[in-house]
Amino acid sequence: MVAHTSSTLGVPETNGVPQHIAIIMDGNGRWAKQRFLPRVAGHKRGLEAVRATVKACVQRGVEYLTLFAFSSENWRRPQDEVKFLMQLFISALEQEIEKLHSNGVRFRAVGDLSRFEPRIVRLVEEAEARTAGNDGLLLTVAANYGGRWDMLQAVARMLKERPELAAGFAETDLNPYFCMSYAPEPDLFVRTGGEQRISNFLLWQLAYSELYFTDTLWPDFDAAALDRAIASYQERERRFGRTSEQVQSGRRVARVSAG
Ligand code: IPE
Ligand code: IPE
Ligand code: MG
């Protein structure tokens, strides 16, 4: 797969479905609390929202879906909750991959997997290998991921392979070393659960993504909620530093030359 250059070089149309959607799935704990259930019940229901979202993305022709499942800071949670999340990750890997595979989905995991138990690492590797040949939706799950970690590991790997760049390097030198160099930068970022922050998700790659925040709690997120996010995206004008007039006239030129 080719490494994509910065998506900020061109101005993609926003009238279609976004090519890459990245989601912070937040609000599981509050969903459970509202129902007087333990927090982990919210995580369990959250998996159903994952299923619905993946299915909706496949149906709508989204090419890349990236889900933030566990941040590098989530280890700070109570041990029991972390343990439950790991168990849930294991059972999802065991139970969902065949279905994803039969729907043509490619599965990838990004993040520092070295901190996970060997069983999880093995299941992730098996899932990636099993689905590697598919050409449908590319589903990336970010686990023990942090945007700052990603930047550090990218610089470290780059300098190890190309020590001559220590004297200076460009974005295009660094881009191939990010965990998600196989995907274009997200067009649409969604955060559920009402908070309006990035929480150390894809810091580098979100530079020019359209941001969408919703109060919907993750377990309540579904195809209709996804459509609302996409509809919001479709109303945006992405300018990447240019003026609106430049963007509009660029579109006219493109339309004329396309015939
Ligand atoms: C997101 O939901 C799931 C993870 C971070 C793993 P939360 O568990 O953060 O839910 P709230 O924010 O406490 O409601
Ligand atoms: C972000 O949610 C991480 C994931 C959804 C995996 P958090 O609930 O951990 O974020 P903060 O702590 O409220 O910023
Ligand atoms: Mg949260």
pLDDT digits (tens, 9 = 90+) for 57-76: 999 999 999 999 999 999 99
Q: Which of 24, 199, 203 to mutate to test the pocket of ligand 2 (most atoms within 8 A of CB)?
A: 199
Is residue 142 included in any domain, yes or no? yes
Residue 8 has what pLDDT? 65
Is residue 9 included in any domain, yes or no? no
Is residue 7 included in any domain, yes or no? no
Among 126, 60, 134, which residue's Cα sits nearest to residue 101?
134
**What pTM value is reported for the model?**
0.95
For residue 25 and ligand 2, the question of a CB distance below 6 A is answered with yes
Q: Which residue's CA is the closest to the ligand 2 atom numbered 14?
A: 199
Is residue 155 included in any domain, yes or no? yes
Residue 3 has what pLDDT? 44
DSSP H helices, the chain, are 28-34, 39-60, 79-102, 118-131, 147-161, 171-174, 223-234, 244-258
For residue 27 and ligand 1, the question of a CB distance below 6 A is answered with yes
pLDDT digits (tens, 9 = 90+) for 68-119: 999 999 999 999 999 999 999 999 999 999 999 999 999 999 999 999 999 9
Two tokens, residue 79:
């041990």
Is residue 145 included in any domain, yes or no? yes
Is residue 192 included in any domain, yes or no? yes
| 125-130 average pLDDT score | 98
128 CB-contact burial (10 Å; exposed 0-12 / middle 13-18 / buried 19+): middle
**CATH number of the domain bearing residue 177:** 3.40.1180.10
Structural domain tally of the chain?
1
User: Whole-number mean pLDDT of the chain?
Assistant: 94
- Percentage of the chain modeled with pLDDT above 90: 89
Two tokens, residue 99:
């279905």
Is residue 15 included in any domain, yes or no? no
Distance of CA 211 to the CA centre of its chain: 13
In terms of residue numbers, what domain contains 72?
A: 20-258
Residues with catalytic annotation?
26, 74
Q: How far is Cα 79 from Cα 201, in angstroms, rounded to an integer?
A: 22
Is residue 211 included in any domain, yes or no? yes
Q: Cα of 85 to ligand 2 centre, how many Å?
A: 13
Quick check: 6 pLDDT over 70?
Answer: no
